[in-house]
Amino acid sequence: MKIELLAPAGNLEKLKIAIRYGADAVYIAGQQFGLRSAADNFSRYEVEQAISFAHHRKKKVYITLNAYLHNHELEELPEFLGFLNEVHPDGVICSDLGVVSCVGQHTNIPIHISTQASVLNQYHAEVWKQHGAHRIVTGREISIQEAADIKKNTGLEVEMFIHGAMCMSYSGQCTISNYTAGRDSNRGGCIQSCRFKYKLYPEDQKPVDTFFMSSKDLQGIRLLDQFKHYGIDSLKIEGRMKSNLYIASTVRAYSQALNRLQNHQDVNYDYFENELKKIPNREYTTGSLSSPADETSVYDKQDELCTDYEMAGNILEIDRSQKRCAFQAKNKIQIGEELEILTFSDSVKTIKIDHLLNMSNVVLTVAQPNNIFWLPWQEGMEVQNVARMKKTNDNRIR
């Protein structure tokens, strides 16, 4: 059985990047009925374009309908479902029983139950199956073996998170954001209160400033053989609001490792772990994938992300006759810096910047964010390749 690698896509550009770097499926949101209200999200035209792009490459697209809705919103949902019937997504991700019922009445689109529903056992999963569910996105509080038991005892597909930011509570059910900012985690407005610094007052001790609620990020690259052994259907990467570099790096690492594993080849986990450390992270934990998460999963540090790297930019077009490509900078790039181009294959191309020419062949002393300049082209480099570079100043970033 081939394990599906499911990637986030906050906009159409990220969707194309995820698919070209090896994702088998992507999950996206329209401009209504989903969480992550701060993400770009997709207009109806973009949803149609996304599905067309993916299906042409034999990839899948799942639509998130995972917000909890009020009556007036449920009254508007059938019209949107009519649109989805016309564009044929491969599934919808829901957490509200009313939404699930509405989807079942108006479409034949497969229903996936969101991690927001906190499905942790087979009896809960069986209830969703009776209401038409096709797949369970399990709560992040259970192990791989527990998820496999749900699959075995219900016949449902199971999807598990393998990488990304972790909620300090049962996913989406923390209410701190509601009380401190009036923004509801189940309406897509969570301000991630768990990342803030708090002052604790231990009995008979001095007050302590701490980030005691913040979780390390999930990373399960070394557990791929267990996911395969237990027959987990889909592995999900969190992060529709993350950068192009995050999407490219995570999808590339997990896709390549999975391909090697499923082709019975050796997997160099040290290499892939090192690749994942080159994207912003709060250090890594395996969460509850093997055993229940404990105090070692707490990221008791400042709300900053660890990495020595940052995104350099991406390739816009290639001029093979001149062996050069148009490159758009996303951060400041100076002469003497080295760019690492993440190709769509196994290789990483390293290019040292010894001069900078803009598109009019005018010499630049430095490329500022969004500047476009000519970059030497090497075989294997393609349009939409993402590049990273080592940070030249402080290696801690927001």
Confidence grade of residue 143 (pLDDT, cut at 50, 70, 90): very high
Confidence grade of residue 396 (pLDDT, cut at 50, 70, 90): very low
- What's the rounded Cα separation, in Å, for the pair 363 and 212? 50
Confidence grade of residue 36 (pLDDT, cut at 50, 70, 90): low
Residues 127-137: what's their mean pLDDT?
98
Examine the pLDDT at 316 and tell me if it is beyond 60: yes
Determine the pLDDT at residue 393.
57
Residues 1-9: what's their mean pLDDT?
95
Residues 357-384: what's their mean pLDDT?
95
- What's the rounded Cα separation, in Å, for the pair 168 and 151? 26
Q: pLDDT tens-digit profile of 240-269? A: 889 999 999 999 999 999 999 999 999 999
Residue 300 covered by a domain: no
Q: Are residues 263 and 384 in the same domain?
A: no
Q: Are residues 30 and 110 in the same domain?
A: yes
Residue 105 covered by a domain: yes
Q: Are residues 123 and 232 in the same domain?
A: yes
Q: Are residues 373 and 278 in the same domain?
A: no
What SS3 state is found at 325?
A: strand
Residue 328: give the domain boundaries: 309-397
Tokens 């698919």 sit on residue: 19
Taking the CA atoms of 98, 99, 103 and 106 in sequence, report the sign of the dihedral they define: positive
Domain boundary among 253, 288, 323: 288
Q: Are residues 17 and 96 in the same domain?
A: yes
Q: pLDDT tens-digit profile of 281-309? A: 999 999 999 999 998 998 887 666 788 99
Q: Are residues 319 and 388 in the same domain?
A: yes
Q: Are residues 267 and 313 in the same domain?
A: no
Residue 175 covered by a domain: no
- Arithmetic mean of pLDDT over the chain: 92
Determine the pLDDT at residue 185.
72
Residue 203 covered by a domain: no
CATH number of the domain to which 16 belongs: 3.20.20.60
What radius of gyration do the chain's Cα atoms show?
22
Examine the pLDDT at 398 and tell me if it is beyond 70: no
Phi and psi angles of residue 235, each rounded to the nearest 5 degrees, phi first: -115, 125
Q: Are residues 91 and 31 in the same domain?
A: yes
CATH number of the domain to which 365 belongs: 2.40.30.10
Q: pLDDT tens-digit profile of 56-112? A: 999 999 999 988 899 998 999 999 999 999 999 999 999 999 999 999 999 999 999
Q: pLDDT tens-digit profile of 165-202? A: 998 888 777 888 888 888 877 666 788 888 888 888 98
Residue 301 covered by a domain: no
Determine the pLDDT at residue 189.
75
Q: Are residues 275 and 244 in the same domain?
A: yes
What DSSP letter does each residue of 79-138 carry, written as one string?
HHHHHHHHH--SEEEE--HHHHHHHHHH--PPEEE-GGG---SHHHHHHHHHTTEEEEE-
Q: Are residues 49 and 123 in the same domain?
A: yes
- What's the rounded Cα separation, in Å, for the pair 338 and 384? 18
Domain boundary among 288, 318, 349: 288
Residue 320 covered by a domain: yes
Determine the pLDDT at residue 335.
94
Confidence grade of residue 138 (pLDDT, cut at 50, 70, 90): very high
Residue 222 covered by a domain: yes
Q: Are residues 109 and 232 in the same domain?
A: yes
Residue 189 covered by a domain: no
Nearest to 133 by CA among 164, 116, 147, 154: 154
Residue 214: Cβ within 10 Å count: 24
Q: pLDDT tens-digit profile of 322-364? A: 999 999 999 999 999 999 999 999 999 999 999 999 999 999 9
Q: Under a CB-based contact definition with an 8 Å cutoff, are residues 330 and 313 in contact?
A: yes
Q: Are residues 386 and 241 in the same domain?
A: no
More reliable by pLDDT, 340 or 213 = 340
Where is 386: in which H helix or E strand?
strand 386-390
Where is 178: in which H helix or E strand?
helix 176-181
Nearest to 285 by CA among 165, 114, 398: 165
Determine the pLDDT at residue 33.
75
Domains held by the chain: number: 2
Domain boundary among 256, 288, 320: 288
Determine the pLDDT at residue 35.
61
Q: Under a CB-based contact definition with an 8 Å cutoff, are residues 91 and 134 in contact?
A: yes
Phi and psi angles of residue 40, each rounded to the nearest 5 degrees, phi first: -60, -45
Determine the pLDDT at residue 41.
83
User: Rounded to two decimals, what is the model's pTM?
Assistant: 0.93
Within 13 A of 12's CA, how many CA atoms are on the CB side?
A: 12
Determine the pLDDT at residue 391.
86
Confidence grade of residue 395 (pLDDT, cut at 50, 70, 90): very low
Where is 28: in which H helix or E strand?
strand 25-29
Axis-axis angle for helices 12-20, 44-56 (nearest 10): 10
